[in-house]
Structures are given as structure tokens and as C-alpha cells.
Structure 1
Amino acid sequence: MRLIAFGDSLVAGAGDPDHLGWVGRAVAGRRAITLYNMGVRRETSADIATRWRAEALPRMADDEPMRIVFSFGANDCHPVGGAPRLGQAESLKNAQAMLSAAAVLCPVLLVGPPPMADPGVSARLEGLNENLKMLASRLKVPFIDVFQPLMADGLWRAEAIAWDGAHPGAGGYQRMADLVSAHPAWRSFTLAGEDSST
């Protein structure tokens, strides 16, 4: 199975000394899955919406199961000049466009954004997370909420504060990977990968 992950630096795994991030850790040990990590630092949902299709199509194959996972929001909510880079309405519009178009190509899954060390950004992310959850439900796209568990756990935020204020280390990414990989939606989403030997 081929799994394509689109998102920002948190998908890319910035700050992880092992360079796996949560996506690499969530599929660790599953040799039948070919992972394409397409996370790009500083990108908003608008940036991802512009590029995802052109980057997905060359990585897709007719003879293998395909999956696309999206995760974004931190840069949308990050302030520039006192205001978030993107308003929630624009973030949701971008999300709907990406999820709807990608679902035509193959099964799609959305992982909500993790919390940030900055309380103001985290508050905006919490609201966006809830709206993304409702949007995914309307579109019948599986959604994995990691915001509240990571906020309650505290390790993600502590590691982010210890480094650059935004990105955790190996421990935080492992906690997020554990949340994602244990979720029934992820297990069913990636199950086809266990049936492929190519």
C-alpha cells in the first residue's frame, strides 16, 4: 500500500532527532506500507491545497491500494501582525476542497492539529480542531482528534517549550503516533497495507 501524508512541519517531523515524526512512527514496522511524507514547514492549509494534487498523482499506482492522510492547522492559526495567518472560514474552505477532491482518488483520513505551547495559538487551534471534526463528519471522512489527549498529557508541550516553542522531540511525536496508530479509524484505513507484499 502507498500512503501519502500531506501537511506542515508537524507532519514532516521537524524537531524529531530520529527524523520520523508521528507519521513515520505510526507506520513503523509495517513493511508493506510505502510512506511518502509530504510535510512542508510553515505551510498553511492554503499552501497545501495548492500543491497536494500535483504531488499525489505521480505517487499513485493502479495496482496498489492508495491512501491519503492530511493534517494541518498550526500555521493557519499562527499570528502574523497580531492576526492568524488564515481565518477559520478559509481554513475550513481549504479543508473541504482537499478532502472532497482527494476522496475521489482514494480513501482519505484527517488527523486534527496538535496543541501549541503558545496559549493563544492553542486556543485558536482548539476551535479549528472542533470545526474540522464536524466538517469531516459531514464529508464522511475519518477524523482522529489528538488535540485534547496531547494537551492533557503535557509531554508534547513540554518538549516544544524546551526546543523552539512549536515542535516536540521524539517523545512527543511518539505520543502522537501512539494515539493515531491505536485509533480504530487508522487501523481500518491502513489495513489494506497488510494484504500487500509489493
Structure 2
Amino acid sequence: MRLLAFGDSFVLGQGDPDHLGWIGRAVRARPEVTLYNLGIRGETSVEVARRWRAEAAPRLRAGESGILFSFGANDCQLEGGAPRVPTAETLLAARQALTEARQLAPILMVGPPPMPDPGVAARLETLNEHLKTLGGRIQAPFIDVFRPLFADGLWNREAEMLDGAHPGAGGYQRMADLVAAHPAWRAFLDGG
């Protein structure tokens, strides 16, 4: 299977000393998966929605591919006193990307992880709920990692020690374990 993973620095695995991030760890035991990690640090949902199709085209193989999206943290960062991307625009970008991608391959949306900053965390929690609701409405599988990672605390502890946003190997492993244990992940990797 070819797994195309689109998103931000959390998909990329920024801060991971092993350069695997959560996605690399989640597929480590699946040698049949070819991972195309297409995360870009600092990108918002709108930027991911704008670029994913062009980057997916040369990598997709009919019947052999899956497309994963995970974004939202950068949308919730403040810029000029307001979130970089309003929630309505994030949801529109997510709907567009998921709806279009589903026509090409099985899809999966992994929600955003938490952040130590309380204001960003509150906005992320709200956005996570909206993305989960959107997934249900358009029948796009969604994995919620925000709540368990926030409750566990390891993600935020590591992020606070590093750059205030990105965890180290432990946080990424915890997220990989959550994703890999989810039935939607197993169905996604097995072709829908």
C-alpha cells in the first residue's frame, strides 16, 4: 500500500530525534506500506487543501493507495490577535480535501494533537470536535487523538521541554500507539 500523509509539522514529525514522527512509528511494523510523508511545517488546513492533489497525483496507484490528512494546529495559532484560519474555513478546507480525495482512494482524518499553551489548546479542542462532527457528516473516518494525548500529559510535557509545540520520541510514540490501535486505522491500511 502507498500511504500519502498530508499535514503540518506534526505529520512531518518535527522535534522527533528519530525522524519518524507518529506516522513513521505507526507504520514501522507494516513493511508492505510505502509511506509518503508530505507534512510541511507551519502549514494550515487551507494550504494543505490547496496543494494535496498535485502532490498526490504522481504517487497514487489505483487500488494500492490511501490518503491521510491531519492538520489544524497552525489554524489555531494567533496571528494579529485572531486565529490564522477561522474555524469555518478550516472545516471548508477539510470537507473539500476529504471529499475530493475519497474519489481517488480510501481516506482517513487524524485530528490535531494538543499544545501546552492553554489558549491554543482550547481552540484546538473546539476545532477537534468540529472536525469529528464533519467526519461523521461526510462519512470520513476520523481518529481523535486530542483528548487522550491531553489527558495523558506526556505530549505536552515533552513539548514544553522542546519548543513549546512539538514533542520528542515519547509523545510521538504515544500518538502512534493511539492511531495504530484504532479500528479506523486498521481498516484504512487494509484498503477501506
Please tell me the TM-score bracket, short chain as reference.
over 0.9
1:138-153 superposed matches below 5 A: 138-153=137-152
- TM-superposed deviation, 1:175: 0.2
1:26-37 superposed matches below 5 A: 26-37=26-37
- The one-letter amino acid of 2:34's match is T
Instruction: Tell me what 2:165 maps to.
Output: 166
- The one-letter amino acid of 1:161's match is E
1:24-173 superposed matches below 5 A: 24-62=24-62, 64-173=63-172
Secondary structure of 1:75's counterpart equals coil
Q: TM-score, normalised by structure 2?
A: 0.98
Residue deviations 1:161-197, cap 9 Å, x none? 000000000000000000000001101110249xxxx
- The one-letter amino acid of 1:158's match is R
Asked whether the equivalents of residues 106 and 191 of structure 2 are also in contact (C-alpha less than 8 Å), the reply is: no
- TM-superposed deviation, 1:80: 1.0
Instruction: Tell me what 1:196 maps to.
Output: none
Specify which structure has the higher proportion of helix: 1
Q: CA RMSD in A?
A: 1.0
Q: Distance in 2 between matches of 1:192 and 1:184?
A: 12
Q: Distance in 2 between matches of 1:126 and 1:152?
A: 12
Q: Distance in 1 between matches of 2:136 and 2:21?
A: 26
Secondary structure of 2:179's counterpart equals helix
Q: Distance in 1 between matches of 2:138 and 2:148?
A: 24
- The one-letter amino acid of 1:81's match is G
Q: Percent identity?
A: 65
Q: Distance in 2 between matches of 1:192 and 1:74?
A: 28
Number of residue equivalences: 192
Q: Distance in 1 between matches of 2:60 and 2:94?
A: 21
